[in-house]
């Protein structure tokens, strides 16, 4: 997660050099990646990542992607379905990727 515009610009310029070397840039400009380490404060009584905390991280990542696309503040209106296949424990890293696939007026 980039915490400032300067570090984001530096990281994007480093990635531009690699893309230019290949002669193509396939990245979606709205793509956002976030990594979070699960700490004890993020867990429930069983030591598993709280579903609410995971949904908060997902919403934050999606919102950043939407704001990149729209150029203004955005909110999540709804989520259709979400399924969890495995539990996540303390010390594990959660990687979340979001990007805008379609946008309508």
Question: Three-class SS string for 12-75?
Answer: HHHHHHHHHHHCCCCCCCCCEEEEEECCHHHECCCCEECHHHHHHHHHHHHHHHHHHHHCCCCC
pLDDT in tens, 52-70: 999 999 999 999 999 999 9
pLDDT grade for 25, boundaries at 50, 70 and 90: low
* pLDDT, position 23: 53
The answer on pLDDT for 9 being more than 60 is no
Ranges 1-5, 7-11, 89-93: which has the least confidence: 1-5
Closest CA to 96 of 12, 88, 6, 104: 88
Cα 97 to Cα 2, 63, 70, 88, 94: the distances in Å are: 14, 11, 18, 17, 10
pLDDT in tens, 59-104: 999 999 999 999 999 988 888 888 889 999 999 999 999 999 888 8
């Amino acid at each position: 997660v980039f915490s400032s515009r300067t570090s984001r610009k530096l990281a994007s310029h480093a990635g531009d050099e690699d893309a230019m070397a290949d002669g193509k840039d396939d990245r979606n400009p709205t793509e956002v990646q976030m990594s979070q380490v699960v700490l004890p404060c993020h867990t429930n009584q069983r030591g598993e990542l709280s579903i609410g905390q995971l949904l908060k991280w997902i919403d934050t990542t999606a919102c950043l992607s939407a704001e990149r696309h729209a150029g203004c503040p955005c909110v999540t209106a709804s989520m259709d379905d979400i399924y969890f296949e495995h539990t996540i424990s303390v010390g594990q890293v959660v990687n979340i990727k979001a990007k805008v696939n379609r946008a309508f007026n």
